[in-house]
């Protein structure tokens, strides 16, 4: 570290997953660390955890858990001999449960900061130069400047905007608003059938809303393996989701307490009416107030911070991690690993991140998860591959739980049998993918996985069976 007198060794801007992990790891390494975040609750108390904890993924998963429980009791309890009469929902209590989980996580992060002697500062932070950060209290006040030898930028991302529609937070709402609804809308429209749109659609569809998604792209879930995406599309439609592809919204209007939406597709112009409309076109890096023009921080044309392979920006001693960069997908666990990496890089430790084994998860019903390459990507480059698939309908534990939708798909190199990609759609996909990530991290072959003993009966046996199937040795797949 420098011999110059600074207020801190490291300042971290942002207390989302990337930021708070970076701050804690810095402190563990003996660095005097401050973490600055502007998020506050209605009582002006600091909310640590960023949008991810307070208004994003955690909220969505908490509500989806409630929605799935209601839907499962309503649709499958009779098969268990359980008679549930006059079943109803209390959305207010669901929201209270979600809020209790968020408060618990806020308190947990605050306690971790305290235990590790991280200085938590509630303020809007702006980088002035590589060693100076201006902080402004969230409720106004006189800006101050604090200094550090190193700065880690982890300000996260925010929802993108659409020029053709204006959010009023009542009829036309954001994804954040959609996680705090007080009642179930009868008819709900969603602009965007990406990850965020789909997760919101599943929540409110399970709770009884009629949901229509308007997706401008002509194909569904381009980022996923096309075969898995196709099955997901079919399953979502069977659940009642109306997904309209190639639907480009051209206007929105609020009239008589309804949202009127016009969109175009290959068949012409169409009109829909909704009780509420969610705008969920995706996310953009939160860089508008991140640095002063005098700092001369380098951004790309989309507003992402330019970094090298070590998360270093164009400014000496300044790092950028998480959703601020294009170094990997906008995922919490990607940001977490970059936060740890940046902290360790500051003290001279170097443990490169393997971006090829970052798992992707979509928290819908059923869940979708994958790691590695898709079939279409591998075929496009002419890679010799072998593919096997195992349906959950042939898995004993899935039969017991009644969650037999979906499958595991495994792709290996045809000559070396090294695993190149694993794609799962089905119950607990987010948990099952960890085994595939570990296998790929150690360059395992399908034979390695086939010779690994799995407990019976478990969902994880589906990965085992998939590996066995590559050499026609599956024991649970009918011919």
pLDDT digits 0-9 by tens, 274-290: 999 999 988 999 998 89
Looking at residue 3, what is its pLDDT?
A: 58
**Residue 245 confidence class, pLDDT cut points 50, 70, 90:** very high
Q: Tell whether 437 and 449 lie within a shared domain.
A: yes
Q: Tell whether 194 and 302 lie within a shared domain.
A: no
Is 456 one of the catalytic residues? yes
CATH of the domain at 199: 3.50.50.60
Number of domains in the chain: 3
SS (H, E, C) the chain: CCCCCCCEEEEEECCCHHHHHHHHHHHHCCCCEEEEECCECCCCCECCCHHHHHCCHHHHHHHHHHHHHHHHHHHHHHHHCCCCCCCCCCHHHHHHHHHHHHHHHHHHHHHHHHHCCCEEEECEEEEEECCEEEEECCCCCCCEEEEEEEEEECCCEEECCCCCCCCCCCCEEEHHHHCCCCCCCCEEEEECCCHHHHHHHHHHHHCCCEEEEEECCCCCCCCCCHHHHHHHHHHHHHCCCEEEECCEEEEEEEECCEEEEEEEECCEEEEEEECEEEECCCEEECCCCCECHHHCCCECCCCCECCCCCCECCCCCEEECHHHCCCCCCCHHHHHHHHHHHHHHHCCCCCCCCHHHCCEEECCCCEEEEEECCHHHHHHCCCCEEEEEEEHHHCHHHHHHCCCCCEEEEEEECCCCEEEEEEEEECCHHHHHHHHHHHHHCCCEHHHHHCCCCCCCCCCHHHHHHHHHCCCCCCCCCC
**Residue 77 confidence class, pLDDT cut points 50, 70, 90:** confident
Q: Tell whether 33 and 97 lie within a shared domain.
A: yes
Q: Establish if 237 belongs to a structural domain.
A: yes
Q: What is the mean pLDDT of residues 33-37?
A: 96
Q: Establish if 1 belongs to a structural domain.
A: no
Q: What is the mean pLDDT of residues 247-274?
A: 95
pLDDT digits 0-9 by tens, 329-353: 899 999 999 999 999 999 999 889 9
The last residue of one of the domains, among 235, 255, 281, is 281
Prediction pTM value: 0.93
Q: Tell whether 180 and 126 lie within a shared domain.
A: no
Q: Which of 230-239, 249-258, 281-290 has the lowest mean pLDDT?
A: 281-290
Is 42's pLDDT higher than 70? no
Q: What is the mean pLDDT of residues 460-465?
A: 95
Q: Tell whether 56 and 134 lie within a shared domain.
A: yes
Looking at residue 476, what is its pLDDT?
A: 67
Looking at residue 40, what is its pLDDT?
A: 76
Q: What is the mean pLDDT of residues 161-184?
A: 93
Q: Establish if 166 belongs to a structural domain.
A: no
Q: Tell whether 205 and 130 lie within a shared domain.
A: no
Q: Establish if 301 belongs to a structural domain.
A: yes
Is 44's pLDDT higher than 60? no
Q: Tell whether 288 and 271 lie within a shared domain.
A: no
Q: Establish if 250 belongs to a structural domain.
A: yes
Catalytic residue among 413, 456, 459, 476: 456
* Domain span at 191: 172-281
Q: What is the mean pLDDT of residues 30-45?
A: 84
Q: Tell whether 318 and 350 lie within a shared domain.
A: yes
**Residue 163 confidence class, pLDDT cut points 50, 70, 90:** confident
Name the residue with higher pLDDT: 242 or 142: 242
**Residue 477 confidence class, pLDDT cut points 50, 70, 90:** low
pLDDT digits 0-9 by tens, 379-417: 999 999 999 999 999 999 999 999 999 999 999 999 999
């Amino acid at each position: 570290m420098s011999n110059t007198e600074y207020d801190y060794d490291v300042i971290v801007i942002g207390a989302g997953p990337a930021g708070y992990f970076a701050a804690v790891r810095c402190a563990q390494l003996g660095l005097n660390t401050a973490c600055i975040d502007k998020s506050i609750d209605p009582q002006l108390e600091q909310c640590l955890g960023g949008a991810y904890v307070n208004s994003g993924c955690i909220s969505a998963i908490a509500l989806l858990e409630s929605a799935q429980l209601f839907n499962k009791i309503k649709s499958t309890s009779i098969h268990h001999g359980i008679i549930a009469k006059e079943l109803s929902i209390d959305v207010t209590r669901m929201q209270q449960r979600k809020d209790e989980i968020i408060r618990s996580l806020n308190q947990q992060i605050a306690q971790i900061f305290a235990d590790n002697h991280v200085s938590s500062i509630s303020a809007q932070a702006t980088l002035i130069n590589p060693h100076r950060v201006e902080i402004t209290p969230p409720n106004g006040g006189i800006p101050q400047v604090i200094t550090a030898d190193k700065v880690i930028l982890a300000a996260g991302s925010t929802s993108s905007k659409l020029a053709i529609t204006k959010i009023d937070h009542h009829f036309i709402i954001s994804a954040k608003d959609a996680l705090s609804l007080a009642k179930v809308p009868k008819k709900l429209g969603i602009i965007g059938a990406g990850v965020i749109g789909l997760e919101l659609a599943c929540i409110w569809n399970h709770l009884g809303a009629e949901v229509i998604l308007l997706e401008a792209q002509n194909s569904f879930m381009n980022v996923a393996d096309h075969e898995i995406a196709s099955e997901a599309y079919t399953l979502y439609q069977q659940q009642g989701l109306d997904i309209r592809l190639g639907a480009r919204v051209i206007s929105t209007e609020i009239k008589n307490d309804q949202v009127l939406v016009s969109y175009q597709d290959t068949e012409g112009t169409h009109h829909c009416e909704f009780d509420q409309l969610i705008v969920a076109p995706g996310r953009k890096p939160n860089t508008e107030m991140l640095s002063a023009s005098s700092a001369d921080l380098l951004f790309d044309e989309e507003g992402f911070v330019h970094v090298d392979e070590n998360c270093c920006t164009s400014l000496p001693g300044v790092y950028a991690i998480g959703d601020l960069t294009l170094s990997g997908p906008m995922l919490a666990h990607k940001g977490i690993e970059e936060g740890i990496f940046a902290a360790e890089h500051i003290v001279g430790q170097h443990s490169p991140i393997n971006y090829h084994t970052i798992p992707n998860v979509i928290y819908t019903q059923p869940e979708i998860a994958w790691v590695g390459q898709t079939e279409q990507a591998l075929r496009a480059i002419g890679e010799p591959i072998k593919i096997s698939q195992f349906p959950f309908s042939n898995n004993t534990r899935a039969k017991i739980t009644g969650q037999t939708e979906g499958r595991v798909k495994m792709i290996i190199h045809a000559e070396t049998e090294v695993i190149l990609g694993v794609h799962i759609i089905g119950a607990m996909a987010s948990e099952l993918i960890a085994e595939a990530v570990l296998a790929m991290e150690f360059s395992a072959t399908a034979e390695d996985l086939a010779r690994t003993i799995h407990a019976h009966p478990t969902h994880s046996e589906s990965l085992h069976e998939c590996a066995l199937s590559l050499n026609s040795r599956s024991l649970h797949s009918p011919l």
